[in-house]
Amino acid sequence: MKLATYRDASRDGQLVVVSRDLSTAHYATGMANTLQQVLDDWSFMAPQLRDLSDRLNSGKARHAFPFDPACCMAPLPRAYQWVSGTAYGSHAERLDRLPGGSRPEGRCPQPLLRQGGSDCFLGPRDDVRVGSDAAGIDFEAQLAVITGDVPVGASPEEALDAIRLLVLASDLCLRGMGGAAGEVQGRPATAFGPVAVTPDEAGEAWRQGTLNLNLQTTWNGRKVGLCDAGAGMTLHFGQLVSQLCSSRAVRAGSIVGAGPVSHADWSLGYHCIAEKRAVETADNGKPKTRFMKPGDTLRIDMKGKNGQSLFGAIEQEVKLPE
């Protein structure tokens, strides 16, 4: 099933079930008001929502209406925690070749988990406000999972079983507020795609904690990255969530990202400007690709084997404060 959160007068919005082709939706009123309610009582509420999803996809839902991504908040507008990892070895190795990098080339990185702000996420069409046009604005197009309760010390296999939903994320960062290569001191709010999907919606593309579909990133209307998001993962989502649970339990409604999608084949492009600049520096001694600036646009999307968007697209514009 596919779930989204429509804007209303509240901070947490109103939960809706969305059809597989993203054409129609139906309010989940009477079952749950918010996605967090569903995550807190998944075994009871998920089957009811699946029944509604089946009716919606078969055209039998009585109060269906056209789905509009512009009406969406993030699927989970605020979460108990948002953690982003480094699951792509090629991304880590390219950045570590810059001055200040420390990881030996070819060495498999351990999951590096960074806690981010989770009190207010952006919807898929929300503008990104930055305080300065000289902040070194970078994008990190990535996938993430939303978990149920995960006990402390959970194995990667147990962690995989606790994954409830998959989401698409745009995690912008301000490189100009950092110091050494890859260091980041400032991050605007993370944006998420219109819908969160259960892993079975991806079919055979969801394999052992990786989503093997092409992620496409478009910057100012130009495609800069298109690669299989699963092929380049050094660490799968079960390993990332397990690492997070190594010293503490994780509660339902936690979001864990895999970091910028990357691939060893550089011809497939990039989903993070810093990685592109690192390659340019290694090849030519200095970078030539600029960071983003106000007025720039970003589009991130992932299509299934049927050619349809799996999550709906993230479409953002960078702006200065009003």
**Residue 72 lies inside a defined structural domain of this protein:** no
Output the pLDDT for position 113.
Answer: 87
Backbone angles phi, psi at 107, to 5 degrees: -80, 135
Question: Same domain for 168 and 262?
Answer: yes
**Residue 299 lies inside a defined structural domain of this protein:** yes
Question: Same domain for 90 and 58?
Answer: no
**Residue 182 lies inside a defined structural domain of this protein:** yes
**Maximum Cα–Cα distance for the chain, whole Å?**
62
**Residue 157 lies inside a defined structural domain of this protein:** yes
Query: What are the angstrom distances between the C-alpha of 177 and each of 84, 174, 297?
Result: 19, 6, 21
pLDDT digits (tens, 9 = 90+) for 74-95: 999 999 999 998 899 888 888 8
DSSP string, 98-132: STT--SPTTPPPP---EEE--SS-B-TTPPEE-S-
Secondary structure of residue 83 in the 3-state scheme: strand
Q: Which residues are 84's β-sheet partners?
A: 114, 257
Question: Same domain for 275 and 127?
Answer: yes
Output the pLDDT for position 107.
Answer: 40
Output the pLDDT for position 177.
Answer: 67
Output the pLDDT for position 103.
Answer: 42
Query: What are the angstrom distances between the C-alpha of 189 and each of 118, 251, 263?
Result: 8, 21, 26
Of 24, 40, 67, the domain-final residue: 67
160-176 residues labelled b (16+ CB within 10 A) or e (exposed):
bebbbbbbbbbbbbbbb
Q: Containing domain of residue 27, as a range?
A: 2-67
Let me know if 138 is exposed, middle or buried by CB neighbors in 10 A (0-12, 13-18, 19+).
buried
CB neighbourhood size of 219 (10 A): 20
Question: Same domain for 199 and 277?
Answer: yes
Of 36, 67, 98, the domain-final residue: 67
Question: Same domain for 63 and 107?
Answer: no
Of 39, 67, 95, the domain-final residue: 67
Question: Same domain for 120 and 12?
Answer: no
Domain count, the chain: 2
**Residue 254 lies inside a defined structural domain of this protein:** yes
Question: Same domain for 181 and 306?
Answer: yes
Virtual torsion, Cα 98, 104, 108, 114, nearest 10 deg:
-50
Question: Same domain for 101 and 234?
Answer: yes
Question: Same domain for 95 and 28?
Answer: no
Compute the distance between CA of residue 253 and CA of residue 38 in angstroms, rounded to an integer: 9
pLDDT digits (tens, 9 = 90+) for 120-145: 999 999 999 887 776 789 999 999 99
**Residue 108 lies inside a defined structural domain of this protein:** yes
CB neighbourhood size of 13 (10 A): 24
CATH of the domain at 86: 3.90.850.10
Question: Same domain for 92 and 239?
Answer: yes
User: Which residue matches tokens 């990357």?
Assistant: 262
Question: Same domain for 6 and 139?
Answer: no
Query: What are the angstrom distances between the C-alpha of 114 and each of 163, 184, 235, 294?
Result: 19, 10, 15, 26
Question: Same domain for 86 and 111?
Answer: yes
**Residue 60 lies inside a defined structural domain of this protein:** yes
Residues in the chain with pLDDT < 50?
101-109, 179-184
**Cα distance from N-terminal residue to C-terminal residue, the chain:** 38
Output the pLDDT for position 83.
Answer: 95
Virtual torsion, Cα 224, 230, 232, 233, nearest 10 deg:
130
**Residue 76 lies inside a defined structural domain of this protein:** no
